[in-house]
Structure 1
């Protein structure tokens, strides 16, 4: 039997009951991400006419991270999804980038790795500024506007 009290070293078996590394996905969550975020990201990448290395180069996200996201074995961060959305929407307006970013976050669901309180506050201020300036007009059927204003109404962003 393997001694699980010793630190994990490369090439040695891990204790299956040990807590996985941050961002690593196991069990049912892995199955859900592999069935949702992975295919969604692959379809968007194909729609943009990119292979994984080209998306990595354009986004600045590593090839291995993109592969792990598409296989559903890594939790995404909002920052990584933003960089992927920008790369996938190259040549399109900011609104298309934001809409894809929001869709990626929605598909990631509860597996989205959270960010700091400071980042939450920055995002809350940005959303409040957009709402105050009416920079994002509400249009029926507009995914981004519905999502952001739904969050405002639900009180999930405190300005």
Structure 2
């Protein structure tokens, strides 16, 4: 598996799983009907460092971005988004990508990383806590999950 910075030409391969994940409405607070152009602007913004994971056949199977969560004197606290193609889940891709992105964020001078809205039913909560993230708080009943109804959104943090 190869983890590298994304190039503009990677977007169609990211979009192939991005739209399925967001449309499912189970893990991201973005509109399930987000258009491809809007999705590209959200994920591939020039303000973000974007990464992809390629499998041994060169297929892009995951992506992540890192960006400052705040401005001004708080720009050294990062925010990130992670997506693994559901067809390639359960193979350690997310964990490898997370470790890579956390190391890159630290090398870039970030002092910590915060996730503003992690759906509490998202299986990735276990990944994040195993990597040292703590749940700072939970906004109750903030997310209308298609299977579980109203669930909370965790705010998670890790010092780098």
Larger radius of gyration, structure 1 or 2?
1
Structure holding more helix per residue: 1
After TM superposition, the score normalised by the length of structure 1 is: 0.31
Structure holding more strand per residue: 2
After TM superposition, the score normalised by the length of structure 2 is: 0.31
